[in-house]
Chain A
Amino acid sequence: MPLDLIASAFGPVQQNYLLEARQMQAMSFVAHIPLVCFGVAFPALVVFAEWRHHRTGNPVYRTLARRWSKIMLALFAVGVVSGTILSFELGLLWPGFMAAFGDVFGLGFTLEGFSFFIEAIFIAIYVYGWDRLPPRTHLLTGIPVIVSGITGSFFVIAVNAWMNNPSGFRMENGEAVDIDPWGALFGNSYLAHEMVHMYVAAYIVAGFLLASIYGWQWLKGNRSDYVRTALTLSLTAAAIAAPVQLIVGDWAARTVAKEQPVKLASFEDLQETTEGAPFDIPPGIEIPDMLSLLAFHDPNATVTGLDSVPPDDRPPVGIVRASFLTMVGIGSLLAALAAVFLYVRVRKRRLPESRWFWRAAIAAGPLSVVALIAGWVTTEVGRQPWVVYGVMRTEDAVTGAGGIPVGYATMAIVYAGVFAAVIWILRRLAARPLEEDAAPAPEGTHG
C-alpha cells in the first residue's frame, strides 16, 4: 500500500460528538491527575518519615510511614488503571492524532512505560517489605519509587510540552517527516517549566489534602503525636511548595506569552493587540499595564491580542479565562496560608493554634485540587482548537467510530464508582487501629 494512500485513509472524518469525545478525555484526566500528585509526592513523604524514624528512633514516624505506605499503594493501584485508561483513550478517541504523530512523541511513552514498571515493582517491594527486609534495605527500596515517580511524569509531560510547542519534525503532504524524536521531546522550551510546575503542584495537592484530613481530626481535638507529626510533614511540604509555585507560574506565563500568544490573550480575554495591556480582576477592577508587566516584566510591552488569528483559531476564551483566574486566585491564597504555617512552625516550634488556620487548612486540600484541575484546563483548553498546536486541529484527530456518548456515560458511571470506592477505602484504612502499624518486637525478644 503506497504511503500517500495510508495517510489519506486518516483524512478528516464525520464525528458528531467531538465535544463529547473531548469531555470524556478531560474527565479521565481529571480523575487521573490528582492520583499522579500522590504518585509523585507521597513516596517522598513516606520515605522521609521512615528516614526520620531511623534518624530519631521515634516510633511515631514509623507508624506514620507504614500507614501512609498502605494508602500510597491503594492510590497507586487506582492510578495504574486510570493511567491505563488514558493510554487506551488516546487511541480510541484520537486515532488521527496517533496515526500522524505516534512516531514523533511515542518515545516518551516508551520511556514512561519503563518508569512505571520500576515504580510498580518497588512500590510492591516497599509496601510488602515492611518487617521482611533489613531496615536500611527497606528504606533504600523506597528511593526508586520516588525517582520513578519523577521520571514517569517527566516523560508524559514531555509529550504534553511537545503538543503545546511542537518541533522535531516537518510536515509534508499531511505526514510528519524528518522526525527527530529526542529533539521533539527533550529539546523543547516548554518542558522545563511544565515539569517543574506540575511537580511542585503535586506537593501542594498531596500536602494540603493530607492536611485537610488530619486537620479535621486536629480541630476535633485529636492532639496525638501521630496526628501532629502527620500534619507537620504534610503541611511543611505544601507550605514550601506553595510560594515556590508563584515563581514557577510566573516563569510559565512568560514562556506562554512568547510561544503561545493567543493562549495568553485568552487568559485575560485581550481582544486587540495592546501596548501596556491592563489586567482585569473580576468584578471589574482594572489595573493599567499590569498584563504587560506580568507577561513580559515590562509595563510598556506589547501583548498580542486574540485578533491576531481568525476566530476559528481561538480557544474558548470564557473557559480558559475562568480557569486561569481560579488557578491564580487559589494559588495565591494557598501561598498566604503557607506563610502563616511556616512562621509558626519555625518561630514557635509548634503547629498553629488558631481555629481559623485549621478551617482554612481543611479547605485548602479540596481547593488545591480545584486549582490543579483549573491549571490543566488553562493549558489544555487554551491549546484548542489544536491538538498539536498550530499543526493539527482536534477535529482532524478524532475517531470516526460511533458510540462516543455511550462510552462517555459508561466511563462517567465507572469513575463515579471508583471515586466512591477510593473514599470508602481511605475511610476504612483510617479506621484501623494504629497498633497494626506499630513496630515489631525489638531484637532479641522474638523466637
Chain B
Amino acid sequence: MAEIPIILILVGLAAYTVLGGADFGAGIWELTARGERGSALRDHTHRSMAPVWEANHVWLIFVLVMAWTCYPEAFSSIVSTLTIPLFVAGVGIILRGAGYALRAGSSTPREEGRISLLFALSSVLTPFALGLVVGGIASGRVPVGNAQGDEITSWLNATSLLIGVLAVATAAYLAAVYLAADARRMGSDDVAEAFRTRALIAGVIAGVLALAGPFILSSDAPDIYDGLTSGAGLVALLASGVAGVTALALVVTRRYGAARVAAAAAVVAIVAGWGLAQQPEILPGLTIDEAAASDTTITAVLIGFAAGLVILVPSLVYLFRLVLSGRFDPATAPWPGPDPARAAAVNAGPNAHSSLRTTLITGAVTAIGAGITFVSEGPLRSVGVALMLAGAVACFFAVASLDEAEPPA
C-alpha cells in the first residue's frame, strides 16, 4: 500500500517531463526564433502549444498534491530545504503563464518579440530549477525535518546541475520533435525541417549529458550510482539509453510520431530507474514505508484518483484527438454557422423569451427559499438553501431572457 502513491507520483513526474517538458521546450526554442523567419516559427509554436499547455501543466500539481498527502513529512522536508530552487521554479511558472496570456493581447511583432523573450527565459529557468530539486533529493541532501538541510548546497551541487541541464536539454528535444511533427501535419515543410535540425542538436546534447551522468553520480551521489548500475536500476538505465538512441535515429529518418514515443519511453525509463535506484528510502534514513500516510488516507486518495481518472482519461483523449487531428488548425475550414432563416423563425417563436409570470414565480421561489434559510436550522435550512439557489438560477434565466423594450430611437 505504501508504495502505490510513489509509483503514481513517478508516473506523474514522467508525464510532466514528457508533456510539460515539451511545453517548456517550445518556449526555449522561441529564443532561437528571431527575425522574419523566427516569427513563423514562433507562431507555429504558439498555435501548437496554446490549446494544451494548461492541461500539460496540471501534472505538476498532481505530483505535489500526491506527495504532500501520501508522504507529508517527506514532502515538507523537501520543500523546506529546497526552498530556493522551488521558489525560482514558481516565479518561472508565473512568468510563463503570463506570457501565454499576454500573447492573447499582443498585436505588433515588436511586442511579440519582447513577450517571447520573457517567455523563453522563464521556459529555461523553470525546468532547470525543477531539475536542481530532483538532484538534491536524488543525491541524498535533504534530511528529514523543517529546513534541516543546507539551503544552498542542497541544490548547488554536481548532481543537481547535471539534472537541471539535462532537464532543459530534454525539454528542448521533446518540443522540437513534437513541433516538427505538428508542422508537417499542417503542411509547413520548411518549419518542420527547422525543428528537425533543432531536435537533432538538442538530442545530441541531451545524449552527451546522459553519458556524462554516471561519472558525475559516481563521485557526487554514490548511492544512486550504485542503484543505477546494478539490478533493475541498470535495466532501466540501459532501456532509457536504447530508447534515446532509437528516438534520435527516428528523427534522422523523419519518423516523428515514432520518435515521440521513443523519446517518451526514454524519459519514463530514467524516471523509473531513479525510483528503483533509490528505494526503499525516500529521504536518507526515511523509508517509503515510514514516510507513508496511514492506509485510510492512501485508500481515500486512490479511490479519488480512480474516480478522477474515469472522467479525466476520456476528456484528455478528446482534447488530444481534436488537436492532433488538426481540428483546431487555422487551415481547417470553419464549421458553418446557424442558418439565418431558421434563426429568424426561432427568434419569432413563443419560447425565445421568458414572460413576466415566469419571472415573478422564480423570484417568489427564491424569496421563499431565502425565508426558510433565514428562520431555520439543520435539515430544514438545507432545504431552504437548495430552494433559494435553484430559484436564483431559474430567476437568472427568466430575468436575463425577458423580451426587451424597443430602445428609444
Contact = CB atoms under 8 A, between A and B. Distances in A.
Contacts of A241: 392
B151 interface: yes
A70 interface: yes
Interface in A228-264: 228, 232-233, 236-237, 239-241, 243-244, 247-248, 250-251, 254
Nearest to B362: A240
Contact of B405 (A10, A48, A180, A349): A349
Given A57-B347, A425-B104, A442 B340 contact: yes
Contacts of B312: 114, 117-118
A84 B61 contact: yes
Contacts of A95: 76-77, 79-80, 146-147
B197 interface: no
A275 to B, nearest CB: 21
A292 B405 CA distance: 47
B190 interface: no
A124 B54 contact: yes
Interface in B160-194: none
A319 B118 CA distance: 38
Given A118-B315, A247-B374, A110 B66 contact: yes
B366 A244 contact: yes
Contacts of A370: none
Interface in B270-325: 285-287, 290-291, 293-294, 296-297, 300-301, 304-305, 307-309, 311-312, 315-316, 318-319, 322
A113 B94 CA distance: 18
Contacts of A10: 73, 76, 145-146
Interface in A119-158: 120-125, 128-129, 131-135, 144
Nearest to A7: B73
B359 A346 contact: yes
Contact of B54 (A76, A243, A421): A76
B69 A107 contact: yes
B388 interface: yes
B231 interface: no
Nearest to B89: A88
A87 interface: yes
B338 A78 contact: no
Interface in A388-414: 399-403, 407, 410-411, 414
Contacts of A74: 101, 104-105
A418 interface: yes
Nearest to A177: B294
Contacts of B377: 254
B300 A107 contact: yes
A80 B60 CA distance: 12
A443 B65 contact: no
B83 interface: yes
A236 B79 contact: no
Given A244-B392, A251-B381, A102 B145 contact: no
B76 A425 contact: no
B334 A182 contact: no
B392 A106 contact: no
B311 A118 contact: yes
A188 to B, nearest CB: 14
Contacts of B148: 9, 400
A52 B404 CA distance: 14
Contact of A346 (B102, B316, B356): B356
A425 B397 CA distance: 30
A20 interface: no
A124 B381 CA distance: 38
A55 interface: yes
A333 interface: no
A109 interface: yes
A192 B382 contact: yes
Interface residues of A, number: 127
A87 B86 CA distance: 11
B328 A128 contact: yes
Interface residues of B, number: 118
Contacts of A192: 382, 385
Given A13-B146, A91-B79, A113-B58, A440 B301 contact: no
Contact of A132 (B332, B337, B405): B332
B41 interface: no
A158 B400 CA distance: 32
B147 A57 contact: no
Nearest to A9: B145
A301 interface: no
B72 A350 contact: no
B315 A121 contact: yes
Contacts of A414: 91, 94-95
Given A346-B402, A414-B91, A443-B339, A124 B72 contact: no
B51 interface: yes
B333 A180 contact: no
A361 B72 CA distance: 47
A113 B308 CA distance: 9
A308 B78 CA distance: 40
A75 B375 CA distance: 39
Interface string B99-110: 011101111000
A181 interface: yes
A49 to B, nearest CB: 9
Contacts of A173: none
Contacts of B69: 102-103, 106-107, 109-110
Contacts of B353: 56
Contacts of B81: 401
A18 interface: no
B1 interface: no
A87 B400 CA distance: 37
Given A57-B346, A346-B402, A418-B98, A236 B297 contact: no
A102 B68 contact: yes
A320 B287 CA distance: 44
Contact of A98 (B72, B344, B347, B385): B72
A220 interface: no
B396 interface: yes
Contacts of B327: 129, 132-133
Given A95-B147, A113-B65, A342-B399, A443 B328 contact: no
A309 interface: no
Interface of A: 1, 3, 5-7, 9-11, 13, 48, 52-58, 62, 70, 73-78, 80-82, 84-85, 87-92, 95-96, 98-104, 106-107, 109-114, 116-118, 120-125, 128-129, 131-135, 144, 177, 179-182, 192, 196, 223, 228, 232-233, 236-237, 239-241, 243-244, 247-248, 250-251, 254, 297, 342, 345-346, 348-350, 399-403, 407, 410-411, 414, 417-418, 421-422, 424-429, 439-444, 446-447
23 contacts: A6-B291, A9-B144, A9-B146, A56-B347, A75-B101, A77-B100, A77-B104, A78-B101, A84-B60, A84-B97, A95-B79, A99-B72, A103-B293, A113-B61, A118-B312, A120-B58, A121-B316, A239-B399, A240-B366, A429-B104, A429-B105, A439-B338, A440-B337
Given A96-B76, A131-B335, 16 more contacts: A9-B145, A13-B147, A56-B346, A56-B352, A73-B104, A95-B80, A99-B77, A103-B70, A104-B297, A111-B308, A118-B311, A232-B404, A251-B374, A400-B147, A407-B83, A410-B87
